[in-house]
Chains A and B, each alone.
Chain A
Amino acid sequence: DTEVTQTPKHLVMGMTNKKSLKCEQHMGHRAMYWYKQKAKKPPELMFVYSYEKLSINESVPSRFSPECPNSSLLNLHLHALQPEDSALYLCASSQDEPGQANNEQFFGPGTRLTVL
């Protein structure tokens, strides 16, 4: 089973709202990722959790806040977003086994976010 699930599928929010995106995987993977993808562009990495330790893309604004409750779950908390943050938000996971080459990343279906 190579499934990464994401909820919700679609989200519309105002600039003053607080919302959260959720991601879950049951493949025993130890690394999880958040990507942002704008239309007709490739995904851009936002955050990586590897063995529940966070690495950040420093260009990501603080209105995006990741949380990794455990190795199977990944949340992205959203607060005071701007209309330009409207995009497809993708979660991915990988095995991240040191010394092993099978660390390909598997993506979820994404959450399509619209900020009004």
Chain B
Amino acid sequence: QKEVEQDPGPLSVPEGAIVSLNCTYSNSAFQYFMWYRQYSRKGPELLMYTYSSGNKEDGRFTAQVDKSSKYISLFIRDSQPSDSATYLCAMSKSGTASKLTFGTGTRLQVTL
């Protein structure tokens, strides 16, 4: 069993839809959670960074962490075609320089 599970998609939604992306993890030692957006052939871009259970909002993005269920989510409101990318969840066990464990990434396509 992988430490971090993420549905690879592809996920196709119409413009304006609310998108829900999810990851589950098995190791309760993970304490820090990140969501990255990666366009094709580019480096990952950090979208959200959280380290406590609950919600964190930034513009159209909301990150949700449920440590009791070992489940994290990223919600995108009013999705745009420019949101079409691969979304990677990542997590680490320590706040200091340490290995990030990534999900496989979910490919999102927002259609006009």
Interface residues of A (CB under 8 A from B): 2, 4, 6, 30-31, 33, 40-43, 45, 48, 50, 55, 57, 88, 90, 94, 96-98, 100-110, 112
Contact = CB atoms under 8 A, between A and B. Distances in A.
Given A31-B97, A90-B43, A110-B41, 12 more contacts: A4-B43, A30-B97, A41-B104, A42-B88, A50-B96, A57-B99, A97-B96, A103-B95, A103-B97, A106-B46, A107-B36, A109-B43
A110 B102 contact: no
A42 B49 contact: no
Contact of B95 (A2, A100, A106): A100
B102 A98 contact: no
A88 B41 contact: yes
Interface residues of B, number: 23
Main SS class of interface, A:
loop
A42 B2 CA distance: 13
B21 interface: no
Contacts of B46: 2, 104-107
Contacts of A112: 41
B60 interface: no
B96 to A, nearest CB: 5
B104 to A, nearest CB: 6
Main secondary structure of the interface of B (DSSP, over half): loop
A94 B90 CA distance: 14
Contacts of A108: 43
B97 A48 contact: yes
A29 to B, nearest CB: 9
Contact of A42 (B32, B43, B98, B102): B102
Contact of A107 (B45, B49, B104): B45
B43 A103 contact: no
A88 B43 CA distance: 9
| Residue from the set B98, B99, B104 with the largest chain A CB neighbour count within 10 Å | B98
A42 B100 CA distance: 10
A4 B42 CA distance: 13
Contacts of A96: 96-97
A104 B34 contact: yes
